[in-house]
Structure 1
């Protein structure tokens, strides 16, 4: 056996996977090398997660073989794979909100004492060790439902690391992490590599892949289109293998002029349960057809601001106006009727009902449009669904399929479609590109540009500097719950935006003006 082949610990050999007539993976061969980061990349729907779910025992191949240390294996469950040393950090968070961090980390493999009872103290001690390795700053006794999305992502990673796996699959592990948390994760990965652990790493952040990867495999439409050592490739090579061209990630401004003010928020504040303000007297305005980017790192208060605007926190203070009229409705349903709609950061838990179909999810927030007396006009609803699927290029064989069967990018399009069917005047988009590939990003960003041309005002929150620079007509910066900067797009610089995001006390100056937007 050659030295290169002897490094292979896990292999998929000519593997295919078919769901209800749809071929998700087509004759794929993929080798996972020990002591290395094996990068897997491709557009949403390319088959990456399906391949890894087969490796992790969640799915069985329709055809082909899985080899572990050169021997064919069959996994009947994820437990079988874990028992053979294969662990996975799933793209969509898989935690129990009503349990503590420690209980989540050791769920289904609880530590017991001599009497056979769960040893909570020992679980908390060991969980603390794993969390300390990640410098997570999270107490093992904290309830998961009280954590932010980024913190929950760290718990998922700690849970996977705790398995002491020989092969560790990480599906979008950094999608909700801050830059500092990503650096810590990379140090943990380097430590795991040094111990001989084989890492399979899936991400849509191409620069991140080039930095951390040793080998790269590219999937397109379920087929492998490229395999190479990472040192031999660049981002252009990766994009070409993924989508067949050097397409740009971002839609470009089209020069249309925004209209008059469509939305205004005044002195929005949200008290924290622990004291202080999660949103600290934020005021901003938005014009019809304008994309106002709100940049900030995790914990800056962007999501909390959107929740306040949507009426999700009854104890929030401040005033909002739509087309010059004050919005007095205090609940989300009332604010949706007034023309507000939210694309939440966590699409799985807050944007979708995963057991329902694509069609049902699309019309969930706008059923009154299709109702006559006490009945839903099915033909009208189906027509709206077909139009939205076509309009947003949602890749689904049948809208009656469960939304959970779609890729992350197509699920995000369903969340956007659900919001658009309410007929919004103002669209709030919280990290709309989280966990989706370059092709799906381009689709989402083109949709944002089209909607702005149609006169919808868009508030767009992101922690991605490139995105906010490329998409925004104006850029507001938040830090520690406050607005710390406001920049006209033509005059914005990356250095000024980053500097404003590091502030937390008092308004910064952007283009010579106060941060009051």
Structure 2
């Protein structure tokens, strides 16, 4: 009741009239089919109920426009259906609803008209009934599917025939990503393809132990790995370069040297500090190997360009000699030269036996370097394609078209 009527509480004798407030809150909740005790603490209820209470708060002020920004991100199928029922009721009462979502199936189910944005720019407005999914995806990624140019292979594709290094069996987390199976072999580049919000980062964080799975198991070399957190993953030879290199990766006010050795020092433990000589040898080696500029180990990492910051983050994990390297958007926001260097590094690492899980919103990039492509949509793994798959095939799957013959689902 306090959440629904915050700032608009009914008053009596100079104070809040709690019985009246709870009665009014119950009336609003009943209007959208939610029957809970308005005096109960909101934190006691599941995320789905919390979402609906937020909508009730908007209804309580007789809103004419209701903006819902990713309201289904933490809801299961039944809860989404209930939300859509409420949205249809409100629409029937004359409320205008702006529904922001990356779930294409839901957009087509609930919306009358779509506005497509890309990189902060309006691409177009279309009646939902007049724009098919394939055309929508082409507008979202900025390429016309019929006019796609042939992509030159950056490296020879191959089928990794070694033993499975990392295997996920039914691994999942409610509200983040549905249970999935995944094998990654040594010397293989596995690409994750999907639109923003499809579950790519969520999958990666489960493999690294940054988020805790609530179903399934992870095996390394055929043996179960009980991830208690990232430290367990690092000890097992798993490394993770976050897409948020500034917020979750680099420490801006530390030097290149200190950033570069951070993961190795964490793996050793702070009671076994690296000597200055070892640090200097490692830094000198990777400054040269990755062409990090300026080649000054004492420079603060925040003074570097985006491409060189990304190289420092990569170097940090390469120092640990990982068996599986998870790269989440490693080429985002960097210049074309640095992007080419990083792509070349990925193929070189795979050739030397490192397993790489490569995530990128640029589908052409995934198709170009991956030996195998795992396609995600609406936080579900929906297919696997071999490295010979075309961009057209990948986009078709993301758009929700029928799976082609022979594709594993």
The residue number in structure 2 matching 1:503 is: 400
More helix by share: 2
* Structure 1, gaps ≥5 residues long: 1-131, 147-177, 189-206, 209-247, 273-277
Q: 2:118 aligns with which of 160, 182, 189?
A: 182
Write the distance in 1 (CA, Å) between the matches of 2:266 and 2:120: 48
Q: What secondary structure, in the 3-state scheme, does the structure 2 residue paired with 1:460 have?
A: strand
The residue number in structure 2 matching 1:53 is: none
Matched, 1:282 2:176: no
Structure 1 vs Structure 2 CA RMSD: 3.5
The residue number in structure 1 matching 2:166 is: 263
Q: What secondary structure, in the 3-state scheme, does the structure 1 residue paired with 2:182 have?
A: strand
CA distance 1:347–1:184, change in 2 (3 Å)? closer
The residue number in structure 2 matching 1:118 is: none
Shift of 1:435: 0.5
CA distance 1:397–1:136, change in 2 (3 Å)? farther
CA distance 1:435–1:385, change in 2 (3 Å)? same
Report if the CA contact (8 A) 1:488-1:511 is conserved: no
Write the distance in 2 (CA, Å) between the matches of 1:332 and 1:356: 21
Write the distance in 1 (CA, Å) between the matches of 2:345 and 2:240: 15
Q: 2:191 aligns with which of 278, 283, 293?
A: 293
Write the distance in 2 (CA, Å) between the matches of 1:344 and 1:374: 26
Matched, 1:348 2:217: no
Report if the CA contact (8 A) 1:486-1:510 is conserved: no
The residue number in structure 1 matching 2:406 is: 512
CA distance 1:381–1:258, change in 2 (3 Å)? farther
Shift of 1:458: 0.7
Write the distance in 2 (CA, Å) between the matches of 1:457 and 1:438: 24
Q: Deviations over 1:319-378 (max 9, x none)?
A: 111121211132111111101111111111011111111111111111167789644311
Write the distance in 2 (CA, Å) between the matches of 1:416 and 1:249: 25
The residue number in structure 1 matching 2:349 is: 451
Shift of 1:256: 8.0
Q: What secondary structure, in the 3-state scheme, does the structure 1 residue paired with 2:178 have?
A: strand
Q: What secondary structure, in the 3-state scheme, does the structure 2 residue paired with 1:345 have?
A: coil
The residue number in structure 2 matching 1:314 is: 212
CA distance 1:136–1:357, change in 2 (3 Å)? farther
| Aligned residue pair count | 286
The residue number in structure 1 matching 2:263 is: 365
Q: How does 1:218-229 map to 2 (within 5 A)?
A: none
CA distance 1:183–1:288, change in 2 (3 Å)? closer
Write the distance in 1 (CA, Å) between the matches of 2:271 and 2:394: 52
Q: Deviations over 1:5-41 (max 9, x none)?
A: xxxxxxxxxxxxxxxxxxxxxxxxxxxxxxxxxxxxx
Shift of 1:304: 0.6
Write the distance in 2 (CA, Å) between the matches of 1:411 and 1:422: 18
Q: 1:253 aligns with which of 139, 143, 156?
A: 156
Report if the CA contact (8 A) 1:259-1:455 is conserved: no
Q: What secondary structure, in the 3-state scheme, does the structure 2 residue paired with 1:410 have?
A: helix
CA distance 1:370–1:303, change in 2 (3 Å)? closer
Write the distance in 2 (CA, Å) between the matches of 1:386 and 1:369: 20
More strand by share: 1
User: TM-score, normalised on structure 1?
Assistant: 0.50
Report if the CA contact (8 A) 1:370-1:377 is conserved: no
Report if the CA contact (8 A) 2:194-2:375 is conserved: yes
User: TM-score, normalised on structure 2?
Assistant: 0.63
Report if the CA contact (8 A) 1:485-1:497 is conserved: no
Matched, 1:473 2:371: yes
Write the distance in 2 (CA, Å) between the matches of 1:414 and 1:512: 41
